[in-house]
Amino acid sequence: MTLTNSLESRLGYQLRRASAVMMADLGRELSDLDLRPAEVTTLLVIAENPDCSQTEVGQVLAIKRANMVPIISRLMERGLVERRRLDGRSHALTLTEAGRKMADDAVARIERHETRFTALLGEADTNVLFRCLPTIRSARSSEEEI
Amino acid sequence: MTLTNSLESRLGYQLRRASAVMMADLGRELSDLDLRPAEVTTLLVIAENPDCSQTEVGQVLAIKRANMVPIISRLMERGLVERRRLDGRSHALTLTEAGRKMADDAVARIERHETRFTALLGEADTNVLFRCLPTIRSARSSEEEI
DNA sequence: GCATATTGCTATCACCGATAGCCGTCCTAA
DNA sequence: TTAGGACGGCTATCGGTGATAGCAATATGC
């Protein structure tokens, strides 16, 4: 017996399922770099914002301060990220040469991954998505801070 | 300093962030029912497919057999779901009266939650989303089975 | 100078997904 | 009719991500 599922008509459900599919595909694409999704995004943000701090990265990616710690630690252990003491509290993050190479490789893979999906959608619909998804993000109920 | 983030132009990233926002909102809306998202979806699928089996629910929701176990257990402990032995292997799942009430309450909350977002999008864009998101889901690379 | 805010950090929890493997049951084909 | 394989539920366990509470050191503004 094949079941009915009225959740199919729920935006949140569709979003969750679609996001899971893309995340799984991304994971596969990045698996042989041994980079987790959260680590790649961190790497790329540092790549385009040299000398940023750890909490700044967290703010732009919506990753809590506490959860940034193991991410940065692992990127440093692997020699992809370096940091320079700034003022006794904060560090300036930069990529090492290996980090830059890794970031370039990751971007290429992400591009392949992305076009696998956008190719199916067509430009018009893709544009609608890039308009709608930020709208959804901006709809956080007012009482939650950054 | 406010950072740049070129990930904003990636579909996967936007999907992930938007999905996270909606999930957080859903969690808030359901928190005083003490139902986790995975439990509500299970409850609703059983509601509209009485006498279905546990793996059938899993298949329609993309939840692995092994991961259904604690979900069903908890729903049964709370007296929301009952099951009847079918053939020594499988059980027929149904909602109890309390489960039906809970499901009705959950649906009402989900509806409030959903319209909070769809109201921001407008009907035309919402329709595009309901066309595009299933397309993305269907783009699983061919080598993965159900 | 002192109260307060900020930064990075530890420790710990919750939720969801995945894998490997067990056991009992069923189905089917030789 | 029975043997082999598929199936349904289950255990145990891990991985990834997010959240919270609280600490120590430092910076900042009054």
The three-state (H, E, C) secondary structure of chain A, written as one string: CCCCCHHHHCHHHHHHHHHHHHHHHHHHHHHHHCCCHHHHHHHHHHHHCCCECHHHHHHHHCCCHHHHHHHHHHHHHCCCEEEEECCCCCEEEEECHHHHHHHHHHHHHHHHHHHHHHHHHCHHHHHHHHHHHHHHHCCCCCCCCC
Place of tokens 């407008």: B122
Spatial distance from the CA of B83 to the C1' of C11 (Å): 40
Mind listing the pLDDT tens digit for each residue in A57-81? 999 999 999 999 999 999 999 999 9
Q: Which of A6, A19, A131 sits opposite B19 (nearest CB)?
A: A19
Q: What are the two backbone dihedrals, phi and then psi, of residue A142, each rounded to the nearest 5 degrees?
A: -60, -25
Mean of pLDDT over chain B: 93
- Separation between Cα atoms, residue A104 and residue A113, nearest integer Å: 14
β-pairing verdict for A91-95 and B81-85:
unpaired
Helix (H, G, I), strand (E, B) or coil at B69: helix
User: Is residue B78 a contact partner of residue B46, using CB atoms and an 8 Å limit?
Assistant: no
Mind listing the pLDDT tens digit for each residue in A113-139? 999 999 999 999 999 999 999 999 998
Spatial distance from the CA of A140 to the C1' of C4 (Å): 29
Strand C footprint nucleotides (protein C-beta < 7 Å): 6-12, 14-21, 24-27
Confidence (pLDDT) at B140: 73
Mean of pLDDT over chain A: 93
Spatial distance from the CA of A126 to the C1' of C11 (Å): 43
Q: H or E stretch including B85?
A: strand B81-85
- Separation between Cα atoms, residue B103 and residue B105, nearest integer Å: 5
What average pLDDT does the segment A25-33 reach?
92
In angstroms, the Cα distances linking A123 to A104, A111, B94 are 25, 16, 44
Q: Quick one: tokens of A45?
A: 């943000």
Helix (H, G, I), strand (E, B) or coil at B39: helix
Mind listing the pLDDT tens digit for each residue in A78-95? 999 999 999 889 999 999
What average pLDDT does the segment A18-35 reach?
94
Report chain B residues whose CB lies below 8 A from the CB of A63. Answer: none
What DSSP state is assigned to residue B63? -
Asked whether strand D has any atom less than 7 Å from the CB of A64, the reply is yes
Mind listing the pLDDT tens digit for each residue in B27-42? 999 989 999 999 999 9
